Amino acid sequence: MAHGSVRVRFAPSPTGLLHIGGLRTALYNYLFARKHDGEFVLRIEDTDRSRYVADAEQNIIDALQWTGLDYDEGPGVGGEHAPYRQSERGDLYRKYARELVDQGAAYYAFDTEEELDALRARGEDGDGTPAYDSSTRRDMRNSLTMAPETVERKINEGEDYVVRLKVPPQRTIHFDDEVRGGVSFDAAEIDDQVLLKSDGMPTYHLANIVDDHRMGISHVIRGEEWLSSTPKHVLMYEALGWDPPTFAHLPLIMSPDGSRGGKLSKRDAERLGIPVYVTDYREAGYEPDGLLNFLALLGWNPGTEQELFDLEEMVEAFSLDRVGSSGVQFDLDKLRWVNEHYIRALSVTELAERARPVADAEGYEVSDERLEEICALVQERVQVAPEVVTDNRYFFEDPEEYEEEGVEKRWTDDSADLLLAYADRLEALDGFDADDLETVLRDLADEKDVGAGAIIHPARLAVSGRSYGPGVFGLMAAVGKEACLRRMRRAAEVLG
């Protein structure tokens, strides 16, 4: 492959927040471009004005910036193929729509909504899809059934029309796919797709092939849902005398719910507690590098045992021939496992910076120094940064209840007396560091002729409400003297 010959694009529609599947598509395009010293283009496909959401484009750009997937051309960056918003390229699409009509590869259609509804009602399948194709187009009002002067008059008089692709009926349309190998479609199964709508805006199909050609896109790497549209695109490339790009259709992201199977829908995701949008992952405290690492492996197999990759390592290892064609199940536990490794790689200061907004939002007043102390204690135990706070509230507030299993297993008839004796000795201390707390406890245990655990376990339960967690002396030092004494005396009273 020649140096710099690779040009790929990520072309989302600004119809809402960027979906996690969209980010994976962007990532694979980015990896492929960087691997081959190519260009990665961001193009906004905003021709469906009925579904357009005002701040969706910014959300897409923010998501790419947050994850470090920097694009070489696109909105805000510019480039020689500007503009990169399809809504600003309308004249171009109308020009090529006319050219397709002139070539006999497309035609004008003047059918009203009522006429299309009637066609729909006649449809054998009854699924609400208007089978406007080679078998029905001769019964409709279009430039294939009208005299040329009638067509010209209707257009001049401003009558609404669309431009439709004229799919040849008896033909097999074949193309090669980098992920799926050779793919064939029977043209008889393909409808005469609308290319230009009555508002003069193109559909995805026309705008996409015009822009991919004009922008010199060498490889179209997109989701499997576009596979069935590709034969229509191949027909247009042929009619316009253009070489098509190389296609690669990525596998679907499937629901982890085996019994239901199928593509991961928004409804399934909500039911299973899986975030759907990139924004959700950011708000949930996932590390952007961890999220990309997980997404890369959701469809691509590096062919080695390695599971943790930074972006540079991914670029080095990535190839389309190791992308699978069958759907891959989303595994939230795996994502959390991957993210946990990125959390552990942070400095304590970095982790505290990520935990700070959560502590503030919860109304916990905690100094930077103390928050870092807490982070150092729990860093090995959290999978996402907010858990520093949300899973360890005992650092910030007194426990309201005590873990039943822990009390049953660890609280004995002597526990209250031992705990009160320990609290009294701690009260006399000047300092309150982990070493002092341990020395006092072990001395007391020797005096009372009990194992250290006889005091350690009740102390942990009293201070944190739990029987597990980081080392008890570090935990108590981070909670602080006043709170520890208060909690120990309360537990002795409540648990008796």
The share of the chain scoring above pLDDT 90, in percent, equals 90
- Flag whether 282 is in a domain: no
**Nearest-angstrom CA–CA distance, 28 and 298:** 11
- Flag whether 289 is in a domain: no
pLDDT of amino acid 2 = 41
The three-state DSSP-derived secondary structure of the chain is: CCCCCCEEEECCCCCCCCEHHHHHHHHHHHHHHHHCCCEEEECECCCCCCCCCCCHHHHHHHHHHHHCCCCCEECCCECCCCCCEHHHCHHHHHHHHHHHHHCCCEEEECCCHHHHHHHHHHCCCCCCCCCCCCCCHHHCCECCCCCHHHHHHHHHCCCCCEEEECCCCCCEEEEEECCCEEEEEEHHHCCCCEEECCCCCECHHHHHHHHHHHCCCCEEEEEHHHHHHHHHHHHHHHHHCCCCCEEEEECCEECCCCCCCCECCHHHHHHHCCCCEHHHHHHCCCCHHHHHHHHHCCCECCCCCCCCCCHHHHHHHCCHHHECCCCEECCHHHHHHHHHHHHHCCCHHHHHHHHHHHHHHCCCCCCHHHHHHHHHHHHHHCCCCCHHHHCCHHHCCCCCCCCHHHHHHHCCCCHHHHHHHHHHHHHCCCCCCHHHHHHHHHHHHHHHCCCCHHHHHHHHHHHHCCCCCCCHHHHHHHHCHHHHHHHHHHHHHHHC
**Nearest-angstrom CA–CA distance, 232 and 132:** 14
In this structure, are 98 and 189 located in the same domain?
A: yes
Token code pair at residue 269: 């995701």
pTM, two decimals, is 0.92
Task: Decide which of 225, 250, 275 is a domain's last residue.
Answer: 250
In this structure, are 218 and 353 located in the same domain?
A: no
- Flag whether 19 is in a domain: no
In this structure, are 230 and 140 located in the same domain?
A: yes
In this structure, are 168 and 236 located in the same domain?
A: yes
In this structure, are 364 and 427 located in the same domain?
A: no
In this structure, are 96 and 230 located in the same domain?
A: yes
In this structure, are 380 and 418 located in the same domain?
A: no
Q: Looking at the predicted structure, is the pLDDT value of residue 126 above 70?
A: no
- Which whole number is the average pLDDT over 451-455? 97
> Could you tell me where the beta strands, DSSP code E, fall in 147-223?
162-165, 172-177, 181-186, 194-196, 219-223
- Flag whether 135 is in a domain: yes
Question: Is residue 266 flagged as an active site residue?
Answer: yes
Q: What is the CATH number of the domain that holds 218?
A: 3.90.800.10
Task: Decide which of 250, 279, 309 is a domain's last residue.
Answer: 250
Q: Looking at the predicted structure, is the pLDDT value of residue 390 above 90?
A: yes
- Flag whether 474 is in a domain: yes
In this structure, are 190 and 246 located in the same domain?
A: yes
pLDDT of amino acid 121 = 83
Domain count, the chain: 3
- Which whole number is the average pLDDT over 213-229? 97
- Report pLDDT digits (tens) over 89-107: 999 999 999 999 999 999 9
Q: What is the CATH number of the domain that holds 457?
A: 1.10.10.350
The share of the chain scoring above pLDDT 70, in percent, equals 97
pLDDT of amino acid 282 = 96
- Flag whether 299 is in a domain: no
Q: Looking at the predicted structure, is the pLDDT value of residue 193 above 80?
A: yes
- Which whole number is the average pLDDT over 444-470? 97
- Report pLDDT digits (tens) over 391-430: 999 999 999 999 999 999 999 999 999 999 999 999 999 9
pLDDT of amino acid 259 = 52
In this structure, are 104 and 185 located in the same domain?
A: yes
- Flag whether 172 is in a domain: yes
Predicted confidence band of residue 260 (pLDDT cuts 50, 70, 90): low
CA distances for 270 relative to 212, 265, 266, 282, angstroms: 35, 9, 6, 17
Torsional class of 134: left (φ above 0), alpha (ψ -120 to 50), beta (otherwise): alpha
pLDDT of amino acid 1 = 39
Predicted confidence band of residue 496 (pLDDT cuts 50, 70, 90): confident
In this structure, are 112 and 209 located in the same domain?
A: yes
Residue 314 CB contacts under 8 Å (≥ 6 apart), including other chains: 31, 292, 293, 296
Q: Which residues does residue 109 pair with via DSSP β-bridges, in sequence order? A: 142, 162
> Could you tell me where the beta strands, DSSP code E, fall in 193-309?
194-196, 219-223, 246-250, 253-254
Q: Which domain holds residue 386?
A: 346-395
In this structure, are 352 and 444 located in the same domain?
A: no
pLDDT of amino acid 467 = 96
Q: What is the CATH number of the domain that holds 384?
A: 1.10.8
Predicted confidence band of residue 128 (pLDDT cuts 50, 70, 90): low
- Report pLDDT digits (tens) over 282-339: 999 999 999 999 999 999 999 999 999 999 999 999 999 999 999 999 999 999 999 9
Q: Looking at the predicted structure, is the pLDDT value of residue 262 above 80?
A: no
Of residues 266, 334, 409, 448, which has the active-site annotation?
266
pLDDT of amino acid 127 = 56
Task: Decide which of 250, 274, 289 is a domain's last residue.
Answer: 250
- Flag whether 22 is in a domain: no
- Which whole number is the average pLDDT over 50-70? 96
**Nearest-angstrom CA–CA distance, 36 and 293:** 20
Q: Looking at the predicted structure, is the pLDDT value of residue 369 above 50?
A: yes
pLDDT of amino acid 3 = 39
pLDDT of amino acid 50 = 87
pLDDT of amino acid 124 = 56
In this structure, are 351 and 391 located in the same domain?
A: yes
Token code pair at residue 88: 């600003």
- Report pLDDT digits (tens) over 237-257: 999 999 999 999 999 999 887
Average predicted confidence (pLDDT) for the chain: 94
